[in-house]
Chain A
């Protein structure tokens, strides 16, 4: 398939139902993006009201997951899509699970933010968490953009960012352990920080999954358990071998 034309090729074949469920998925993505952003902000700024707002909104995220799941089931049952369309529906079903989990992680971050809000702010004012939060949010945003555009190059680029996040995560973990060793009174807060950072790292993983679904839809190739270099090679071979 001609990659350049693919998004338009697929879009023009989408009937209204598919387009609608795709739009709903991306709307859920938008809400989840905002939840993530708010939860990190609540923690960094010590804003417990914002944290509560995040927790309250999580049921909306769950509601959307159920609704979109039903829509996809209906499409599979009544329209029995094939080939590209089938891959799209399957990817949407998988993606909403990832998004819902991201919502849960954001809720967890929100709870911890509530707890930490009443405590004294540390000297570094959670600068690392803010930075990691931004990276992860950018990754999620990029993944959803790639899904909206069915852009595999962007998807690969974003998937690569997960490595950066893993590195940051490990650095913060090491730092937290150092703090705990230096001052046992800081253990409680350090543990909370580690929880938050772990949650963010998981969000990064879910975002990478979404990138992998984009490639699956466009190329029909499942790269979920392939490492990225191999995936790029496979894709390059595929696009090289296309006729004309």
Chain B
């Protein structure tokens, strides 16, 4: 086994170097003294030797200083003795520094190349919202100038009010889509990610294609539903006549009833599709008018009690007399959807309750039941169109499959959210939470009718 060489003992090296230098000086002094003695004054000899020595060191200092100032690393001076050691150390330091600098520059270049290759725009914002850095794509998408706009506030240049609102908020959860300024119809999705000490990363992506596709889809659904309505009305009409005809063949009575039921379902689906597409195209929040919530809930309870299949126990728990500010038909549609669902999916032996209360977080409407409940895995997808937890059962009970999607959109238009709590076998609670700005103190009937 080869023994690794012991590291050179720096201390002994230094000692040797300095020792050698001191010995050399002493030898020179002795020589000087001897020469001086030859000329009667030994101390003059010593003095001259010392002066020569000092002069020589000053010269070396000057050469070192000159060399450092002009930094020609390739040509370090040969100064002899300890000076050489110093020169070597300086050269080494400098080489190390240059190496690190090159490595750093290379890293920066790679980072810049990779961010340049990103298809998305990236803007780094400091605490004040000023642009610290952006990549090429961001400059292109947001119509900014990469060098000149550093230090400017991003919302001074990207001035869409929605963008300013999004940036000023604290909740950056979902990206917001803004319409790009400019002559062409471009849409940008902006997502803000906070990091570090108050800094934010702004990601910008061109979503024009997706937005156009969405618009086409919505138009298609609206148009198709509209077109389907008229033939369906004709068929419904004839079936209505047939079912009311006492002279109808006995074998045909049941089939005609079934056909009526199915066309009824199709009509409901088309009606809900049209409602949904109307809600989707008007995406901004409604301003609205005062809605007497306690009165509406009392009516809803009466409607449930009139249903054929419902739980026996239907309660009304109204803990607040507050009214809502919104669109009455839409709110009624949303609330009755939830109430109907509860009635449908709760057995006659079960219970259901309609709740309304208000606190500092806003107004809360809820429908709770002791029905069959919903398995956990289905809950996130419940508001999707036509989503069925149990296809067999729910198709039999009727309904278009669009009710919850409608509820979701109505709530969105009122700045509200939907929460679903459910456990399989024990029941469910569907709750709508309205922000405080949607609450109104109870208005007089006259005011409500005038407004």
Q: Do A and B bind each other?
A: yes
B433 CB → nearest A CB, Å: 26
Q: A8-B151, A148-B156, A149-B148 are in contact. Are A53 and B161 (CB under 8 A)?
A: no
Q: A49-B282, A149-B148, A149-B149 are in contact. Are A29 and B183 (CB under 8 A)?
A: no
B173 CB → nearest A CB, Å: 23
* B161 touching A34, Cβ below 8 Å: yes
A26 within 8 A of B: yes
Complex CA distance for A29 and B152, rounded to whole angstroms: 16
* 196-250 of chain B: CB within 8 A of chain A: none
Stretch of A66-74, A82-90, A138-146, A215-223 that contacts chain B: A138-146
Q: A33-B181, A138-B183 are in contact. Are A27 and B149 (CB under 8 A)?
A: no
Q: A27-B161, A134-B183 are in contact. Are A11 and B284 (CB under 8 A)?
A: no
Chain B at the A interface: mostly helix, strand, loop or mixed? loop
B22 within 8 A of A: no
Residue of A29, A30, A144, A148 with most partner-chain B CB within 10 A: A30
B325 CB → nearest A CB, Å: 15
Complex CA distance for A144 and B155, rounded to whole angstroms: 12
* B282 touching A26, Cβ below 8 Å: no
Chain B residues within 8 Å of A144, by CB: 159
A228 within 8 A of B: no
Complex CA distance for A151 and B153, rounded to whole angstroms: 15
Chain B residues within 8 Å of A206, by CB: none
Query: B159 touches which one: A22, A27, A151 (CB < 8 A)?
Result: A27
A23 within 8 A of B: yes
Query: B156 touches which one: A23, A56, A138, A141 (CB < 8 A)?
Result: A23
Interface string of A201-220 (1 = CB under 8 A from B): 00000000000000000000
Chain A at the B interface: mostly helix, strand, loop or mixed? helix
Query: B161 touches which one: A23, A30, A56, A141 (CB < 8 A)?
Result: A30
Residue of A29, A53, A134, A145 with most partner-chain B CB within 10 A: A145
Chain A residues within 8 Å of B51, by CB: none
The residue in chain A whose Cβ has the minimal distance to the Cβ of B149 is: A149
* A148 touching B152, Cβ below 8 Å: yes
B207 CB → nearest A CB, Å: 19
Query: B155 touches which one: A27, A134, A141, A149 (CB < 8 A)?
Result: A27
B26 within 8 A of A: no
B299 within 8 A of A: no
B150 CB → nearest A CB, Å: 9
* B156 touching A26, Cβ below 8 Å: yes
Chain B residues within 8 Å of A76, by CB: none
The residue in chain B whose Cβ has the minimal distance to the Cβ of A135 is: B183
Chain A residues within 8 Å of B182, by CB: 138, 141
B278 CB → nearest A CB, Å: 12
A38 CB → nearest B CB, Å: 10
Chain A residues within 8 Å of B262, by CB: none
* A29 touching B151, Cβ below 8 Å: no
* A27 touching B152, Cβ below 8 Å: no
A31 within 8 A of B: yes
Q: A53-B284, A141-B181 are in contact. Are A148 and B157 (CB under 8 A)?
A: yes
Complex CA distance for A22 and B182, rounded to whole angstroms: 23
Chain B residues within 8 Å of A56, by CB: 287
Q: A33-B181, A53-B284 are in contact. Are A26 and B148 (CB under 8 A)?
A: no
Chain B residues within 8 Å of A27, by CB: 155, 159, 161, 164
The residue in chain A whose Cβ has the minimal distance to the Cβ of B162 is: A34
* B282 touching A30, Cβ below 8 Å: no
Complex CA distance for A199 and B360, rounded to whole angstroms: 46
* 110-149 of chain A: CB within 8 A of chain B: 134, 138, 141, 144-145, 148-149
* 135-168 of chain B: CB within 8 A of chain A: 145, 148-149, 151-153, 155-157, 159-161, 164
Complex CA distance for A109 and B181, rounded to whole angstroms: 20
Query: A33 touches which one: B145, B157, B159 (CB < 8 A)?
Result: B159
Q: A8-B151, A11-B152 are in contact. Are A145 and B183 (CB under 8 A)?
A: no
B328 CB → nearest A CB, Å: 18
Chain A residues within 8 Å of B153, by CB: 19, 23
The residue in chain B whose Cβ has the minimal distance to the Cβ of A11 is: B151
Complex CA distance for A107 and B337, rounded to whole angstroms: 39
Query: B164 touches which one: A11, A30, A138, A151 (CB < 8 A)?
Result: A30
Interface string of A13-43 (1 = CB under 8 A from B): 0000001001100110111011000000000
* A145 touching B157, Cβ below 8 Å: yes
B222 CB → nearest A CB, Å: 15
Chain B residues within 8 Å of A141, by CB: 181-182
* 154-197 of chain B: CB within 8 A of chain A: 155-157, 159-161, 164, 181-183
The residue in chain B whose Cβ has the minimal distance to the Cβ of A19 is: B153
Chain A residues within 8 Å of B148, by CB: 7, 149, 151
Complex CA distance for A11 and B287, rounded to whole angstroms: 40
* A23 touching B159, Cβ below 8 Å: no
* B282 touching A34, Cβ below 8 Å: no
A106 CB → nearest B CB, Å: 14
- 8 additional contacts, CB 8 Å, given A22-B156, A26-B156? A11-B152, A26-B155, A27-B161, A30-B159, A53-B284, A134-B183, A149-B148, A151-B148
Give 8 closest A-B pairs by Cβ, nearest first. Answer: A30-B159, A148-B156, A26-B156, A31-B161, A134-B183, A148-B157, A141-B181, A30-B161
21 A-B pairs with CB atoms under 8 Å apart are: A7-B148, A8-B151, A11-B151, A22-B156, A23-B153, A26-B155, A26-B156, A27-B155, A27-B159, A27-B161, A30-B160, A30-B161, A30-B164, A33-B159, A34-B160, A34-B161, A49-B282, A141-B182, A145-B157, A148-B156, A149-B152
